[in-house]
Amino acid sequence: MTGKLSYRLAGLSVVVLLLSTAGILEAKKKNPEDSLRTVEGTVTDANDNPLDGTIVQLKNTKTLQIRSFVTQQHGAYYFHGLSPDVDYEIHAEYQGISSATKTVSSFDSRKEVVINLKLTKK
C-alpha cells in the first residue's frame, strides 16, 4: 500500500509541476506590455537639420488625450506604452512653425513605428 501511495504522490507532484509551468508560460504569453507599441522619430527643419527643443504632440483619437515630448539631442522624440487598438495623430511645433499631422493607424501591426516629422512654413 505504501508503494502505491508514493507512486500516486509522485504522479500528483508531476501533474502539479506541469500545470504550474503551463500557467507561468501562459501568463508570460498574455503579458499586456508585450502588445504595446512605441512611436519614435526625429524632427527636422525644411533643410533637414534636426531640431532640439521642438514640442511633439501625440493625440489618442479615442480619448482625445494628448501626450507631449520635447525633442532631445538630434531632434529625437519617443512615445512608449501605446495601445495597438487606437489611432494616434502626431505633429510637431517649433517657434510658430509646425509639421503636417500624421496618423499612426490601429491597422498598422508594427510594434515600433518610426515617423520623422519635418517643419515647414505654410
Q: Per-residue pLDDT tens for 15-72?
A: 555 455 555 555 555 555 568 999 999 999 999 999 999 999 999 999 999 999 999 8
Please tell me the predicted confidence (pLDDT) of residue 121: 81
CATH topology of domain 35-120: Immunoglobulin-like (2.60.40)
Please tell me the predicted confidence (pLDDT) of residue 30: 57
For 68-94, give the DSSP string. EEE--GGGEEEEEEE-TTS-EEEEEEE
**Mean of the per-residue pLDDT values of the chain:** 84
Please tell me the predicted confidence (pLDDT) of residue 39: 97
Q: How many residues does the chain have?
A: 122
For residue 51, CA distances in Å to 1, 7, 71, 94, 112 come to 80, 71, 7, 8, 22
Please tell me the predicted confidence (pLDDT) of residue 35: 80
